[in-house]
Structure 1
Amino acid sequence: GLRVDFGGGYQGAERARAMYIHEDFAGTPSGFDIACLKASWNGQFARLSHRDVLGALMGLGIERDRLGDLLVTADSVRILCDSKMAEYLLQNLTKIGAVGVNCEMADLAGIAPREERCKEIRATVASLRIDSIAASGFGSSRSRAAADIAADKMKLNWQPVKSASQTVKEGDIISMRGRGRLEVAEVRGQTKKGRTVVVLKRYI
């Protein structure tokens, strides 16, 4: 009797919160309690990365699960966070690394939707095992995919893959550390030789 909605503060957010809503609930959910903070610096003299920003936030004692996406440009970063943390960050985030920053509250509506490019891959695979699908989508061998799984580099629907023999289905998302994401867009049945035809979308 529950449905689940996801929200990360803007369309296409990678890190999102989940909200469970009972089917009998007749009211309006209060929202995901996400705020946006903008930290700015002089981009002519400093270049800060996503890692720099995350390190500064961790240094303030903020846990990663209180933070959403960090949208870094040449001279600023928009930090999406739990709304309860916004005031604390506003008062305490004065430096990122050795670079002084100015912080202010920002409007979530001002964040442009994330535009993702994807490459469509049509492949025939021996089975819907995750090592076989990942090998086709990421352009590697099944043994390499199996090694990545053993090294805990691969996730299926954002959960660690436990075995190379795990099966996937249409709509599943495979993510690989350092390689991006892969969606199983379609499973189209079998060829005369018994191989399975799949359409994959690799986000680049």
Structure 2
Amino acid sequence: MEVYQHFREEERPFIDQVLSWQSDVEMRFQRKLTDFLNPREQYIFRSITGDSPLEKGMFGGSENSERKRAILAPEYESVDSEDYQLVLLEASYPDKFINLEHRDVLGAFMSLGIRREKMGDLIVRDGRIQIITGNEISDYIRMNLTGVKKANVLFEEKDFSCLLESHEQWQTRDSTLSSLRLDVVVKEIYGLSRNKASLHIDSGIVKVNFRTVESPSFLLQEGDLLSVRGKGRSKIVEIHGKTKKDKFKITTAKLI
């Protein structure tokens, strides 16, 4: 199919899934609510459904949410924030005695046997843990996620007006690059030599869209989220096109 040529081969299963959702809604006139999509999946979803007359939207608890659920609905329906069936769970812990990080809570969540796609944004700050999830598993989480590292936790449902604001700050930068290869982009964003960037990739500490990529020649696309262990996260915000010298003009952002 022509749509595949715009995306990576490994993204075909997700593309097929989006096309199937779209077809089902058009044929059965029943809306589809997805699990939480990462930024790259959101980009693919928008690209594929953008020209469809179906009603569509994405929401993850706030306008700035990184992970969002999407809805496809018949064009005569309207979509409201309640339709995303989101729940905000919160627990507290003694941060004077126990240091918890994002990865600690995520690991405890994953140990319950729940797929990452069932969980939206996760905030760990000031002695509080907040998890955005779908209402279909919120009770299960409350009953079973009772400890993180050495901290006993009790999750309670909260109104979204209690959602903590993210302290994340992204610093954007416009660049002109010879290639969209992973080693070239990592070199540019993290201020490394190209050889050092390649070594990081070869050693398996670089992820693209939450998946370890060990090929320096891997080509990045708009919407990709990157992380380098020990150096933080970044993303490809926009690819503007090429210069007269056939170089790529892009906008990147790095979490500071």
TM-score normalised over the length of structure 2: 0.62
Task: Write the mapping of 1:111-190 to structure 2, written as runs, cut at 5 A.
Answer: 111-114=163-166, 116-150=168-202, 151=204, 153-155=206-208, 163-168=215-220, 171-178=222-229, 179-185=232-238, 187=240, 189-190=242-243
Q: Deviations over 1:58-110 (max 9, x none)?
A: 34443333222221123221111221111222233333333322331111232
Report if aligned partners of 1:175, 1:182 keep a CA contact under 8 Å in 2: yes
Instruction: Select the residue among 72, 78, 90 that pairs with 2:124.
Output: 72
More helix by share: 2
Q: Deviations over 1:113-148 (max 9, x none)?
A: 435423343444323434323321221233333344
- C-alpha distance in 1, partners of 2:107/2:162? 25
Aligned to 1:97: 149
Deviation at 1:18, TM superposition (A): 3.3
Q: Which SS does the other structure have where 2:88 is aligned?
A: strand
Go from structure 1 to structure 2 and tell me whether the alpha carbon gap of 1:42 and 1:168 turns closer, same or farther (over 3 Å shift): closer
Task: Report % sequence identity.
Answer: 27
Q: 2:159 is matched with which residue?
A: 107
Q: How many residues align?
A: 199
Residue 77 (structure 2) aligned to one of 10, 19, 27: 27
User: Does the 8 Å contact 1:137/1:182 carry over to 2?
Assistant: no
Contact 1:127 1:196 in 2 (8 A): yes
Structure 1: 5+ residue stretches without partners: none
User: SS of the residue aligned with 1:202?
Assistant: strand
**2 CA distance for matches of 1:189 and 1:60?**
46
In structure 1, C-alpha distance between the alignment counterparts of 2:252 and 2:90, rounded to whole Å? 36
Q: What CA distance in whole angstroms lies between the structure 2 residues aligned with 1:142 and 1:76?
A: 40
**TM-score of the superposed pair, with normalisation by structure 1:** 0.74
Of Structure 1 and Structure 2, the greater strand share is in: 1
Partner of 2:69: 17
SS in 2 for 1:54: helix
